[in-house]
Each structure stands twice: as C-alpha cells, then as structure tokens.
Copies of this chain bind each other. A is one copy, B any other.
C-alpha cells in the first residue's frame, strides 16, 4: 500500500477545477477537493496558499513570456513597440486548442468576485514585471509604467474577446487589432 502517489499538486488542481465548475467555487471546500483525490485538507494548503490560488497556477511562466518578449524587442523599439512584441510572444501561450479550457476557467472566475479580485492582482503583478523589463531597456518612469499598463489593458481586452462566443480569430490577430485601436485613441483629433 503506497502512502502517497506522485503528482499531488496536479491532481489537486484538476480536482479543484472540476469541483469549482460543477458546484461553484464557494460551494466547494478545501476538504472536498483534497478528499476527492485521497488527500487531506492540510495537504491542500501545503500546495496552494489559499483556495483561489489553484486557478492561477502557472502565472510565473506566463509572466516570464511577457518579460522575455519585452527583452527580445529590437534595441531601437519604442516602449509601446516593445510591449507589442511581448503581446505577440504571450499569444503563443494561448493556442486555439486551449480556448475551451480557458473559457471554462474564465466562467469560474467571473462567477465569483473574490476570484476576480485575485485575477486583477495577478494582472497588476504582470504589469509591474513588464514595467521593470522596460526600465531595463532604459525607459524611464512614468513611461515604463504607462506602457506596461497599456499592454496589460490590451491583453485583457483581447483575451476576453478571444473567449467571446463565436470568436474564431487567434489571440495574436485580436491583439493586433486592439493595439491598433489603442494607438488611434491618442491621435484622435480634439
């Protein structure tokens, strides 16, 4: 009789997603999740600092793609161009065959304000990381922060559109359009 099977974190993650989707986030206790994969509540909290964090596993890798994308932009690129480069890099994180999974995850999040909060916090961290990457390129404040937050805004609007019912364009294509809209915002005549 084995005391523990490997992959506890991933089993917990999968079970949590299923239960959150089935009966809702608040109606699912940490003990429910743990029990459903043969572990205890205490072990659940070893792997996830709280119940919400399950839905945001993989954030670091996601963020790193943005940071690397900024770093990879041509040396003479403007702040917004470097951000555009990062957005394209990040789109590879969401190939079209992940759309169904992403929709399922997003449905869980929008159904619960506290999960929405957590998502916003993660986006704020992403923004801070991008701003830092821009500063490493020599871009000063407040331009670094403004460009980073604009990038996160573009990502957010694009991502939601990517998940919209009936939408079939790739995330990269949508980002392109949205970025064009953002650039046009400022140049509107007064």
Interface residues of A, count at CB 8 A: 36
Contact with B along A129-148 (1 / 0, CB 8 A): 00000000000001101110
With the chains together, A80 CA to B182 CA distance in Å? 10
- Contact assessment for A143 and B181 in the assembled complex, using a CB-CB cutoff below 8 Å: yes
A161 — nearest CB in chain B belongs to which residue?
B142
A81 contacts partner chain B, Cβ-Cβ < 8 Å: yes
With A78-B190, A79-B188, A188-B80 in contact, do A113 and B121 touch (Cβ < 8 Å)? yes
Name A142's contact: one of B81, B117, B118, B181 (CB within 8 Å). B181
Contacts of A189 in B (CB 8 A): 78
A157 contacts across to B, CB distance below 8 A? 142, 145-146, 149
A178, chain B: closest CB distance, angstroms: 6
Docked-complex contact B143 and A185, CB < 8 angstroms: yes
CB distance from A111 to the nearest CB of B (A): 15
Query: What is the chain B residue whose CB lies nearest that of A84?
Result: B190
Select from chain B the residue with minimum beta-carbon distance to A156. B149
The reply to whether the CB of A106 lies closer than 8 angstroms to some CB of chain B is no
Which of A147-184 touch B at CB < 8 Å? 147, 149-150, 153-154, 156-157, 161, 178, 181-184
Indicate whether A153 sits within 8 Å of B161 (C-beta atoms), given known contacts A80-B185, A181-B142, A183-B186: no
Q: Does A37 contact B (CB under 8 A)?
A: no
**Complex Cα spacing A121 to B183, Å:** 26
- Known pairs A116-B124, A146-B178; list 4 more (Cβ under 8 Å): A79-B185, A80-B185, A143-B181, A183-B186
Q: Residues of A with Cβ closer than 8 Å to B?
A: 77-81, 113, 116-118, 120-121, 123-124, 142-143, 145-147, 149-150, 153-154, 156-157, 161, 178, 181-190
* 5 tightest Cβ-Cβ pairs between the two chains A and B: A78-B188, A120-B120, A186-B186, A117-B117, A149-B153
